[in-house]
Amino acid sequence: MDAADLRIFEAVARLGGMNRAAAELNTVQSNVTARIRLLEKELEAPLFHRHSKGVALTDAGRRLLPYATRIEHLLRDARSAVADDGHPKGSLTVGALETTAALRLSSHLSSYVAQFPEVDLILRTGTTQELINDVLDRRLEGAFVCAPVDHPDLHQRHAFREELAILTSPSIQNLDALFREAEARIVVLRAGCSYRQRLEDLLAQRGILSLRRLEFGTLEAIVGCVAAGLGVTLLPKSIIGSVTRDHDLTVHSLPKGQGRVETIFIHRRDAYISSALKAFLRRVCVSTKSAVAAE
């Protein structure tokens, strides 16, 4: 058994078929089939159930798959480490909350791209849960998400501190009026958004257990619906001016200690940290450290 055998095994397991694995690996199906049979003979255990639509892992195959995946990632990291001469270049794919991208990152990204023109920077936005999953599955090298995050495979560092506030239409004069309602309509991003969860928890703590949810994909749509009186939402205070200037809204500060939230940067503990990512973290996280401490 060697790394090449495990790479073929991982491709077949992931794609669910010998033909599909052969196409991805740029070889012929007969070669893939032969290598899998030799691997099964060496390990003295069948790794796949064959059926008309492809293959499915046996119990032994499921036990082997995590090791094959880990070795594939190690080999990929090894190639990256050898090619990395300490000068930031190549592809860098990171993620961020939509609010973080809109409010906090634009100036950092602009200066980073100007300083390191050989880096192909890709920024993807999503909810906290989506971004965590993408980092764990190695689709992102790292991401800015809302704390807390408790996962043994993730390393985290503080990046920004936000103060949250509830936004309502002008018809709601204060939070007491909102909290007296038996039911609340909230205007939020899709499930997995940390601000959505915080708003739901806050309302539940006030006895509002009946919620009607309106889900939208952009901050602009959320703010427009809140201004129209369709519901309430929760957003960082620092972003409110940039997305609410064209709307008549009321901003309600939360009680002391309930509105503060940390934005952290996460990446896999076992992943190779490229020079491009190191330079990015020095620019964003280190440059904001003093600002966070001063707040």
CATH number of the CATH domain containing 147: 3.40.190.10
Answer yes or no: do 15 and 153 share one domain. Answer: no
Predicted pLDDT at 288: 47
C-alpha dist (Å) from residue 191 to 130, 138, 194, 213, 249:
9, 21, 9, 10, 24
pLDDT at 274 over 90: yes
Answer yes or no: do 150 and 272 share one domain. Answer: yes
Which helix (H) or strand (E) segment holds residue 266: the answer is: strand 260-268
Q: Provide, rounded to the nearest whole percent, the portion of the chain with pLDDT above 70.
A: 95
Answer yes or no: do 29 and 73 share one domain. Answer: yes
Predicted pLDDT at 293: 39
pLDDT of 171-190, one tens digit each? 888 888 788 777 788 998 88
Q: 47, 58 in Cβ contact below 8 A?
A: yes
Which of the listed residues 83, 108, 128 is the one where a domain comes to its end? 83
Predicted pLDDT at 243: 65
The mean pLDDT of 156-161, rounded to a whole number, is 90
Indicate the burial class of 58 (C-beta count within 10 angstroms; 0-12, 13-18, 19 or more). middle
- Alpha carbons 280 and 114: distance in angstroms, whole number: 12
More confident residue, 279 or 181: 279
What residue numbers bound the domain in which 225 lies?
163-260
Q: CA dihedral in degrees (170, 174, 180, 183; nearest 10)?
A: 40
Answer yes or no: do 145 and 271 share one domain. Answer: yes
Which of the listed residues 83, 107, 140 is the one where a domain comes to its end? 83
State if pTM tops 0.85: no
pLDDT band at 30 (very low <50, low <70, confident <90, very high): very high
21's tokens: 């694995």
Predicted pLDDT at 141: 95
Answer yes or no: do 98 and 150 share one domain. Answer: yes
pLDDT band at 286 (very low <50, low <70, confident <90, very high): low
pLDDT of 81-108, one tens digit each? 898 899 999 999 999 998 888 888 888 8
What is the count of structural domains for the chain? 3
pLDDT at 78 over 60: yes
Answer yes or no: do 42 and 72 share one domain. Answer: yes
Answer yes or no: do 194 and 239 share one domain. Answer: yes
Predicted pLDDT at 290: 41
Predicted pLDDT at 291: 38
